[in-house]
């Protein structure tokens, strides 16, 4: 279970228990006895200990700020002021469940093609390094000139066999450099921005960003948070894209000066124009949270469709490449057999 799923489970359990007018401290103690997930159980026990010392739930969560996103802390602060614990916890559970679904869809659309690519590379390595050399080795010692395509395939096989360890070392070095680059702040920002503009990955990540934005903003507004403060908290909920974070900072400043959210978002290039139009309608009608929920559902479905299309296209591409290379290898092996057979038959 990923992080979003763990937090969603905790919120759901607390919501059910506190529906019976049980205090947050007792609710956490009851949850800790029922939870099987070790990671989640540890978090709940620590929160219960903090509350036993007289802390409020939001303050206890702040002490573990590296584990709880700001949106959860802000929602608990709103619940402490209004007393509507069940409403706050249910809205948070909906948000974290959507986060988990989005992450799972993105992971599947990435890892399934990646595993297909690894399988294709492995099959090509076996064909290139084992099958082709052994088969063509049958022609050693025979006075016969191999066809051009066979010579080229054999040359590639020989080169990879001789330089394979160096090629592998270069590939591992590139992977290591990428991992080190991703540890830097600039690397994280560059990677997040690049993912928003790649042909297949870009549409998936844009839909995911729009869904996260709508659901997070709806969750905060439902818990009574002012628009300006909600937009500020949103900066922590959009991920590691520094460009989007900067745009939301500018939006927060404009909203603080009295501008409506729909007008403040017009300068942003990260969010769909559809969101701006629907936010404008929600602001005029006073139904902004419900409209944002509908938009979050729409973009979640849109993201899943695009993620599925991305996975299908990449899988088809890798299988097609594998098929082309295998056809070349088979041709390189069959053609000398046919020519040699014709030569022997004509003697």
pLDDT, tens only, 76-87: 888 888 778 888
Q: How far apart are CA 4 and CA 30, in angstroms?
A: 21
Mean pLDDT, residues 53-81 taken together: 80
Mean pLDDT, residues 299-315 taken together: 90
For residue 32, the tally of other CB atoms under 10 A from its CB is 18
Assigned token pair, 276: 């701006």
Q: How far apart are CA 256 and CA 254, in angstroms?
A: 5
Give the pLDDT band of residue 322 (cuts 50, 70, 90).
confident
Give the pLDDT band of residue 92 (cuts 50, 70, 90).
confident
**Residues composing the chain:** 347
- Check if the beta carbon of residue 30 is closer than 8 Å to that of residue 22: yes
Mean pLDDT, residues 290-300 taken together: 92
Give the pLDDT band of residue 48 (cuts 50, 70, 90).
confident
Closest of 81, 9, 71 to residue 39, by C-alpha: 9
* pLDDT at residue 2 in the model: 60
For residue 27, the tally of other CB atoms under 10 A from its CB is 24
* pLDDT at residue 202 in the model: 86
Q: How far apart are CA 300 and CA 98, in angstroms?
A: 8
Phi-psi region of 22 (alpha: psi -120 to 50; beta: other; left: phi over 0): beta
> pTM of the entire structure?
0.80
* pLDDT at residue 302 in the model: 92
* pLDDT at residue 69 in the model: 80
Phi-psi region of 224 (alpha: psi -120 to 50; beta: other; left: phi over 0): left
- Check if the beta carbon of residue 154 is closer than 8 Å to that of residue 146: yes
Q: Determine which of 9-13, 62-66, 102-106, 324-328 has the lowest per-residue pLDDT on average.
A: 62-66
For residue 95, the tally of other CB atoms under 10 A from its CB is 27
* pLDDT at residue 14 in the model: 83
- Check if the beta carbon of residue 181 is closer than 8 Å to that of residue 152: no
Q: How far apart are CA 219 and CA 45, in angstroms?
A: 26
Domains assigned to the chain: 3-68 (no CATH), 93-347 (1.20.81.30)
Give the pLDDT band of residue 72 (cuts 50, 70, 90).
confident
């Amino acid at each position: 279970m990923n992080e979003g799923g763990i937090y969603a489970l905790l919120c759901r359990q607390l919501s059910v228990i506190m529906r019976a007018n049980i205090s947050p401290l007792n609710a956490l103690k009851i949850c800790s006895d029922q939870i099987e997930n070790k990671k989640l159980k540890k978090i709940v026990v620590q929160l219960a200990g903090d509350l036993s010392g007289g802390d409020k739930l939001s303050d206890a969560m702040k002490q573990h700020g590296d584990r709880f996103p700001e949106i959860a802390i802000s929602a608990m602060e709103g619940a402490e002021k209004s007393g509507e614990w069940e409403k706050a916890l249910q809205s948070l559970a909906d948000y974290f469940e959507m986060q988990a679904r989005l992450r799972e869809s993105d992971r599947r659309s990435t890892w399934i093609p990646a595993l297909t690519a690894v399988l294709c590379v492995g099959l090509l390595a076996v064909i290139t390094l084992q099958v082709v050399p052994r088969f063509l080795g049958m022609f050693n010692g025979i006075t016969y000139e191999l066809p051009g395509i066979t010579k080229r395939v054999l040359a590639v096989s020989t080169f990879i066999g001789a330089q394979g360890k160096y090629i592998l070392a270069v590939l591992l070095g590139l992977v290591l450099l990428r991992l080190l680059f991703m540890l830097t702040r600039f690397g994280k920002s560059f990677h997040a921005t690049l993912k928003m503009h790649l042909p297949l990955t870009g549409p998936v990540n844009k839909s995911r960003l729009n869904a996260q934005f709508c659901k997070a903003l709806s969750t905060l507004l439902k818990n009574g948070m002012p628009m300006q403060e909600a937009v500020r908290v949103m900066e922590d909920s959009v991920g590691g894209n520094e460009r989007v974070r900067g745009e939301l900072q500018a939006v927060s400043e404009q909203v603080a000066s009295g501008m409506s959210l729909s007008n403040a978002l017009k300068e942003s290039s990260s969010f769909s124009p559809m969101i701006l139009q629907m936010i404008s309608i929600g602001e005029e009608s006073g139904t902004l949270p419900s409209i944002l929920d509908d938009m979050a559902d729409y973009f979640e479905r849109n993201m899943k469709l695009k993620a599925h299309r991305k996975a299908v296209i990449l899988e088809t591409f890798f299988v097609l490449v594998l098929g082309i290379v295998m056809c070349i290898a088979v041709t390189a092996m069959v053609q000398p057999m046919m020519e040699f057979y014709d030569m022997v038959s004509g003697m």
